[in-house]
Amino acid sequence: MTFGFSPPSTTSLTTATGGASRHGRLLEPSEWTASGVPLLRNPREVVSELHSRHSPAPSTAVIAVLGPEERIVASASFVQRATAADGWEYRNALLSRLRRVIPHDLRRRTPVRTAVLLYCRDGDERWTEEDGAWMWGLRDACTLHGLRCGAYITLTRGGWQVLGEGRGGRSPHSDSRPGRLGDTASEFSPLALRTGGGSAEALRRTAAR
């Protein structure tokens, strides 16, 4: 897998992310690929559902937990307006949202649920140090919550991209149906996910608060 590199958009970000790099709080593309992140069976479906539920605008992160069948069992979105791309800060933000929407799985020997992160940002699909900090934060938050670390997905004007997998699409994109910025959490009943034909309607009724 070949990654492109995009320079940080501001001088302050360059300085800040340099500090994050020195402290080891970001992951380089090669490190992310080597970590063995499980592939999504249907990334387009996951991205489309998260976009439909949260309508993310730039600077919005959407953390979602997938069950064994790769169905979304919980998700939360929030706006991250940090001046520094710091994986430690991102980890704390992600862990805080995970704790609000789903119990931890720390008592299990091996994780059975997977967390994925969709981040809507400006720029193109190429990897940035900000992405590296989000990757670090996602991996650490998953470890602390007993989850398997899953895909990191960017949403830009050009569409969506699963970094490290080489899969993406033009729709949805960051300009699609812009939603209200804010702090949103969603919980889904596991029973609703197992109700056969009625599950889709149950999911549609579950709106992000």
In this predicted structure, the answer to whether residue 192 has a pLDDT above a threshold of 60 is no
Q: Apex CA 186: angle with CA 113 and CA 146, to 5°? A: 25
| Main-chain dihedrals φ then ψ at residue 58, nearest 5 degrees | -50, 140
Pinpoint the alpha helices (H) of the chain. 11-22, 29-34, 43-54, 87-101, 129-145, 199-205
Encode pLDDT of 38-82 as tens digits.
Answer: 999 999 999 999 999 999 999 999 999 999 899 999 999 999 876
Taking alpha carbons only, the member of 176, 198, 200 closest to residue 118 is 176
66 near 116, Cβ under 8 Å? yes
The listed range with the strongest mean pLDDT (16-20, 57-61, 172-176) is 57-61
In this predicted structure, the answer to whether residue 151 has a pLDDT above a threshold of 60 is yes
Q: How many CB atoms lie within 10 A of CB 192?
A: 16
